[in-house]
C-alpha cells in the first residue's frame, strides 16, 4: 500500500488550533458552520481570475467600456457583476509600450478579490513584498518578463483600500478572436503585472 | 508600528518562487481559518484596520515562523480575547462560558461579501493637495497601526490621483470614529526612494492619507 503523507502525518499545530477554535465558536453560538462552508465555496468556485479576465477582454474589444473602466473602474467592473469585499474601490492601470505596471502590498497582502480571487502564496511572500518596490525589474525577470530599458516600470503599493488591476496589452495576432477566447488568454499574473498576455 | 510586516525594500528574502500548480488552499484548515476570520469579522466588533494591526502585533518570532493563515488565527484569537468574545480558559479547551448569536448566517454570505466594506465617505473637507502637487511623506514613527511604510517616510513625491475622503486607517485601527481623510495616490521616483542604483524611469506609487503628507 502506498505511503500517503496526507493521510498518515499527524495534524499540524495550526490544523488542531483551527479545529478547536471552530468547535468553540460553534458551541458558543457565535459562528454558523454553514456560513463557513458558503464563504469557502464562494472563493473556491465563483470568484477568481476568470472574472478579471472577462473585464480585460471586454476592455480590449469595447472602446466605450475601456473608457468607463479608466474613469470609474469600480462601476465598470460592477457592470459585469464583480463587486464587494476587497474590491470596493477599484482602479485600473493600463500597460503600453511606454509603461509597465506592477501591483504589490508591502504591508500585508491586499489584493482585488472580486476580480482575481484570493492571492497566491508568492504574492503574500516576504520575497515579493520586499523586492517588488526596490527591484521590480529583477522580480519581473524571475517571472520571465523582461522590460525594455526605455519602458517605465510603475509599481503600485496597495497601502489603503484602493485595489489595482493591471490592464495588460492585447497581444498581436488576436484580431479575430471573440471576447470569450480573449479572456481565455488573460492570466492572473498578467493582471497583477508579473506576466504578459501571449497570443495562442 | 515599525515591525516585521513592513517589508518594502527589505533584503535577504531570496527570489520569488511562484508555484503554478499551487492549490487555492494548501490544506482544508486554511480555508476554515479564512472563513472563521470573515465570519467573526461580521460581528462588527473590530475594523479591518484593527484586524491588520492584530496581525502586525503578533510576537516577532510568530511573525517569522507561523504560516500565513496560522497568523490569521493567532490574530483572531487575540482580537476575540481583547473584545471579550472568548476567554483564555475557553481557548485552553475549557467549556464555553458564554453564548451568542452568529453574525453571519449561510443565507446572508453572498449579500455580505457583495456589500464588502467601502471606506469612501461623504465629507465637506476640502483636499489640501491636488494631482500635480509636490508633497513629502512625513517622518513619523507612530506606535500604533499606520499605512505609511518606512521606505517612503521623508521622501518627496507627486500626487497623481485623488481618491476622495476615506476612513483613516490609523484612527480606525484604534477603534476611533474619526473623520474621513483625503486619500491620494502619491508617486515617488525609484531614485528618490532607493538612490542612484535604481532605474531612472521607475517609480512606486502609494495611497497615502493627508495626515501623512506635507507640502514639498
Candidates A96, A108, A125, A178; catalytic one: A108
- Is residue A96 predicted with pLDDT exceeding 60? yes
ipTM of this model?
A: 0.97
Whether A109 sits among the annotated catalytic residues: the reply is yes
Report d(CA B173, CA B214) in Å as an integer.
Answer: 23
* Greatest C-alpha distance within chain A: 61
Judged by CB atoms closer than 8 Å, whether chains meet at B36 and A30 is answered as no
Q: What is the pLDDT of residues A107-152, one digit of tens each?
A: 999 999 999 999 999 999 999 999 999 999 999 999 999 999 999 9
pLDDT range class, residue A1, cuts 50, 70, 90: very low
The confidence score (pLDDT) of residue A4 equals 45
pLDDT, one tens digit for every residue, chain B (216 residues): 999 999 999 999 999 989 999 999 999 999 999 999 999 999 999 999 999 999 999 999 999 999 999 999 999 999 999 999 999 999 999 999 999 999 999 999 999 999 999 999 999 999 999 999 999 999 999 999 999 999 999 999 999 999 999 999 999 999 998 899 999 999 999 999 999 999 999 999 999 999 999 999
Q: What is the pLDDT of residues B181-203, one digit of tens each?
A: 999 999 999 999 999 999 999 99
Q: Which residues of A touch B48 (CB under 8 A)?
A: 161
Question: Nearest chain A Cα to B80, which residue?
Answer: A25
Report d(CA A193, CA A195) in Å as an integer.
Answer: 5
pLDDT range class, residue A2, cuts 50, 70, 90: very low
- The answer to whether residue A148 neighbours chain B at the CB level (below 8 Å) is no
Span A163-177, mean pLDDT? 97
Candidates A12, A96, A105, A158; catalytic one: A105
Report d(CA B160, CA B171) in Å as an integer.
Answer: 24
Mean pLDDT (chain A) is: 95
Of A125, A156, A157, the CB nearest to B16: A125
Q: What is the CA radius of gyration of chain A?
A: 20
Q: Are strands B134-137 and A162-167 parallel, antiparallel or unpaired?
A: unpaired
Judged by CB atoms closer than 8 Å, whether chains meet at B151 and A143 is answered as no
The set of residues, in sequence order, having a beta carbon less than 8 Å from that of A127 and lying 6+ positions away, is B13, B14, B15, B16, B17
Of A84, A127, A162, the CB nearest to B13: A127
Whether A96 sits among the annotated catalytic residues: the reply is no
Q: What is the pLDDT of residues B10-45, one digit of tens each?
A: 999 999 989 999 999 999 999 999 999 999 999 999
Question: Nearest chain A Cα to B40, which residue?
Answer: A31
The answer to whether B166 touches B181, Cβ cutoff 8 Å, is yes
Q: Which residues of A touch B151 (CB under 8 A)?
A: 106, 133-134
Question: Nearest chain B Cα to A91, which residue?
Answer: B163
Q: Please give, rounded to a whole number of angstroms, the shortest distance from the CA of A123 to a CA of chain B.
A: 8
Q: Helix or strand or coil: residue B101? A: coil
Whether A105 sits among the annotated catalytic residues: the reply is yes
The answer to whether B175 touches B145, Cβ cutoff 8 Å, is no
The confidence score (pLDDT) of residue A198 equals 97
Hunting for cell 492572473 — which residue is that?
A: A188
Whether A178 sits among the annotated catalytic residues: the reply is no
The confidence score (pLDDT) of residue A3 equals 44
Q: Please give, rounded to a whole number of angstroms, the shortest distance from the CA of B43 to a CA of chain A.
A: 9
The confidence score (pLDDT) of residue A8 equals 54
The confidence score (pLDDT) of residue A9 equals 67
Report d(CA A196, CA A187) in Å as an integer.
Answer: 8
Residue A7 grid cell: 493521510
Amino acid at each position: 500500500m502506498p505511503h500517503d503523507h496526507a493521510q498518515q502525518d499527524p495534524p499540524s499545530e495550526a490544523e488542531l488550533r483551527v479545529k478547536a477554535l471552530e468547535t468553540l465558536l460553534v458551541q458558543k453560538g457565535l459562528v454558523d458552520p454553514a456560513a463557513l462552508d458558503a464563504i469557502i465555496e464562494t472563493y473556491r468556485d465563483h470568484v477568481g481570475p476568470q472574472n478579471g479576465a472577462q473585464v480585460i477582454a471586454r476592455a480590449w474589444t469595447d472602446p466605450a467600456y475601456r473608457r468607463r473602466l479608466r474613469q470609474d473602474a469600480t462601476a465598470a467592473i460592477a457592470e459585469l457583476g464583480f463587486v464587494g469585499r476587497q474590491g470596493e474601490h477599484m482602479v485600473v492601470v493600463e500597460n503600453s509600450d511606454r509603461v509597465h505596471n506592477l501591483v504589490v502590498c508591502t504591508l500585508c497582502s491586499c489584493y482585488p478579490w472580486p476580480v482575481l480571487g484570493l492571492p497566491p502564496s508568492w504574492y503574500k511572500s516576504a520575497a515579493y513584498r520586499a523586492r517588488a518596490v526596490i527591484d521590480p525589474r529583477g522580480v519581473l525577470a524571475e517571472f520571465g518578463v523582461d522590460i525594455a530599458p526605455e519602458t517605465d516600470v510603475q509599481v503600485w503599493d496597495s497601502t489603503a483600500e484602493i485595489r489595482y488591476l493591471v490592464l495588460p496589452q492585447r497581444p498581436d495576432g488576436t484580431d479575430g478572436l471573440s471576447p470569450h477566447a480573449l479572456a481565455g488568454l488573460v492570466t492572473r499574473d498578467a493582471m497583477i503585472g508579473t506576466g504578459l498576455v501571449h497570443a495562442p | 508600528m515599525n515591525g516585521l510586516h513592513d517589508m518594502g525594500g527589505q533584503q535577504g528574502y531570496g527570489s520569488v518562487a511562484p508555484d503554478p500548480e499551487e492549490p487555492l488552499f494548501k490544506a482544508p484548515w486554511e480555508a476554515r481559518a479564512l472563513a472563521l476570520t470573515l465570519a467573526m469579522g461580521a460581528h462588527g466588533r473590530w475594523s479591518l484596520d484593527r484586524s491588520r494591526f492584530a496581525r502586525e502585533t503578533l510576537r516577532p518570532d510568530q511573525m517569522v515562523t507561523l504560516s500565513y493563515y496560522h497568523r490569521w488565527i493567532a490574530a483572531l484569537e487575540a482580537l476575540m480575547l481583547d473584545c471579550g468574545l472568548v476567554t483564555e480558559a475557553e481557548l485552553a479547551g475549557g467549556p464555553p462560558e458564554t453564548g451568542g448569536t452568529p453574525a453571519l448566517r449561510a443565507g446572508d454570505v453572498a449579500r455580505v461579501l457583495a456589500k464588502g466594506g467601502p471606506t469612501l465617505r461623504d465629507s465637506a473637507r476640502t483636499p489640501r493637495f491636488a494631482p500635480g502637487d509636490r508633497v513629502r511623506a512625513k517622518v513619523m514613527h507612530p506606535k500604533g497601526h499606520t499605512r505609511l511604510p518606512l521606505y517612503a517616510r521623508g521622501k518627496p513625491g507627486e500626487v497623481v490621483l485623488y481618491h476622495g475622503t476615506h476612513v483613516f486607517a490609523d484612527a480606525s485601527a484604534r477603534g476611533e470614529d474619526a473623520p474621513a481623510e483625503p486619500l491620494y495616490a502619491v508617486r515617488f521616483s525609484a531614485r528618490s526612494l532607493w538612490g542612484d542604483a535604481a532605474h531612472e524611469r521607475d517609480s512606486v506609487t502609494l495611497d497615502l492619507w493627508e495626515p501623512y503628507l506635507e507640502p514639498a
